Amino acid sequence: MTNDAQITPKNILAADPDWWRGAVIYQIYPRSFQDSTGDGIGDLLGIAQRLPYIASLGVDAIWISPFFTSPMKDFGYDVSNYCDVDPMFGTLADFDVVVKTAHKLGVRVMIDLVLSHTSDQHPWFAESRANRDSAKSDWYVWSDPKPDGTPPNNWLSIFGGSAWQWDTRREQYYLHNFLTTQPDLNFHCPAVQDALLEATRFWLDRGVDGYRLDTINFYTHDKLLRDNPALPPEQRNSTIAPSVNPYNHQQHLYSKNQPENLDFLRSFRSLLNEYPDKSAVGEVGDAQLGLEIMGQYTAGDDFVHMCYAFEFLEKSPLTASRVVEVFDRLDKVAADGWACWAFSNHDVVRHASRWNLSPAALRAFTTMMMCLRGTVCLYQGEELGLPEADIAFEDLQDPYGIEFWPQFKGRDGCRTPMVWKQSNSSGGFSTGKPWLPVGAEHLSRAVALQDEDPTAILHHYRRSIAFRSASPMLAKGDLNGMQASGEVLSFVRTLGSEEIFCAFNLGNDPNSLTLPKGDWVQIGEDLGSAVISTDNIVDLQPWQPCLARRV
């Protein structure tokens, strides 16, 4: 394991309200990171134990997926108490240890806030469903049935079927965009917004540095409950729902993305501004309008700082032309906004498998990501080059996969435990039986093995992150002149009068290119950057970058 003495903590004590701009954030799925108790489930003290490793990567912050009190029907994304830790993850005191340890190591702490819905076991919902006259009767989205007894409209759930569930207590339907056990909060009710902001304040007072806001565009719904229109088959390209899910058959015009959402985000940002150096990244789940919504939600200083983009989480291969297409669209609809890019997370097939990447391709995409304009989010284990784990049906935990098996195997394959060493079947994750089996193919990629191998991809991640961190141009500068020439992607990053030229051969064949006029010097040699000839011509091997600074 990495020795603490090797880590040089970053100074995060100085005020820097823009720390998030161009930062590298490491996502932790707490169930699967490190188990400190032997019960087979990762926990907060396990995270604290492994923070020196995270700091050794050179990242700026961690994002911890939900650890709040929950019945775990959706593994923490169904919250029953916003202001406490679920016992399986530890205690509030354990969370304080995480924050203190991270800050000592120069790493900021962001947590996942799930505000669009709660668990059906939340006391708020228990009171709301008791009867139509309860004090919280309008805290959730309730509606009478149509005269024939069917749901009030055609809205669908991401987990399949109608987004409406009948409740016998009130003899009404309630809205759930996800599981039936995840009723949607009614953001048209001011008391709901006030309660959620108080929960947000609770964690700010506890020292968190920011938030990842789950399903940020689902907060408000159309008050009139109008039907969603059909989506033409050629536009069904969702990354948050598999193709076998009828959710993809609708344009979700009224069930999410409502203009009133901006009013709540303005209140949320106002609260964050009361505390120094806090930030928020919103997850925008929309396959058709994701970048447009990003442009709205990150414009100016009134809403969230950045939005988590899905464009690089798609199943289709990420080609040079696709990157250009995304950034061209970004320039048109979100020129003043700020994206947070990711290749993998806890909801999609790991990109090593999704795109069937060779070791050289994995390195090229990593270097490219660190050179793009925007903030970067890494998902635990991707720095080890982990492929998707193959999970047998009898081992599945994810309700999404169980529902749509075998055409869609769910999200468990990317959620298996982190591998720390090869010495046992649990990879050093736990002394007990892990909640999901450790992928046998992952053991040979364990942290301890890669730490000792200077050629391992883990060290490439460290070098790539260090390369980005050392250059304000890459973290906060502009991006210009992006183009694709066959399989070669190129662009220039600028800050003031300084320039860095970046090019990447994203293919299996050699290519060549000519740098812009001027004098350039090769940089990024330890990342495999190509040599520049005297006439500014560069020969690129398959999956090789060219990185150069104008002199």
Confidence category of residue 425, pLDDT binned at 50, 70, 90: confident
pLDDT at 469: 96
Q: According to DSSP H, which parts of 132-205 are helical? A: 190-205
Residue 141 pLDDT more than 50?
A: yes
The torsion angles phi and psi of 401, rounded to 5 degrees, stand at: -70, -40
What is the tens place of the pLDDT at every residue in 126-140?
A: 999 999 999 999 999
Q: Is 391 helix (H, G, I), strand (E, B) or coil?
A: coil
pLDDT at 8: 57
Residue 9 pLDDT more than 90?
A: no
pLDDT at 13: 46
E runs forming strands in 150-209: 164-167, 172-175
The mean pLDDT value for 328-337 works out to 95
- Let me know if 171 is exposed, middle or buried by CB neighbors in 10 A (0-12, 13-18, 19+): exposed
Q: Tell me what percent of the residues of the chain surpass a pLDDT of 70.
A: 96
Residue 12 pLDDT more than 90?
A: no
pLDDT at 7: 55
Confidence category of residue 1, pLDDT binned at 50, 70, 90: very low
Domains of the chain: 4-118+190-469 (3.20.20.80), 477-550 (2.60.40.1180)
pLDDT at 157: 95
Per annotation, catalytic residue among 60, 78, 214, 347: 214
- Within 13 Å, how many C-alpha atoms sit on residue 540's CB side? 29
pLDDT at 14: 55
The token pair at 140 is 């959730």
Q: Any residues with CB less than 8 A from the CB of 232 and at least 6 apart, and which?
A: none
Mean pLDDT of the chain: 94
Confidence category of residue 423, pLDDT binned at 50, 70, 90: confident
Is 214 tagged catalytic?
Answer: yes
pTM for this structure? 0.95
Per annotation, catalytic residue among 133, 148, 205, 274: 274
pLDDT at 119: 98
Residue 11 pLDDT more than 70?
A: no
Distance CA 344, CA 341 (A): 9
Closest among 213, 279, 274 to 12, alpha carbons compared: 279
Confidence category of residue 21, pLDDT binned at 50, 70, 90: very high
Sheet holding 545-550, edge to edge: 478-485, 488-495, 498-505, 545-550, 520-522
The mean pLDDT value for 404-414 works out to 85
Distance CA 275, CA 198 (A): 14
Least confident span in 132-141, 297-306, 308-317, 456-465:
308-317
- 304 neighbors 261 (Cβ within 8 angstroms): no
Is 263 tagged catalytic?
Answer: no
The torsion angles phi and psi of 91, rounded to 5 degrees, stand at: -135, 170
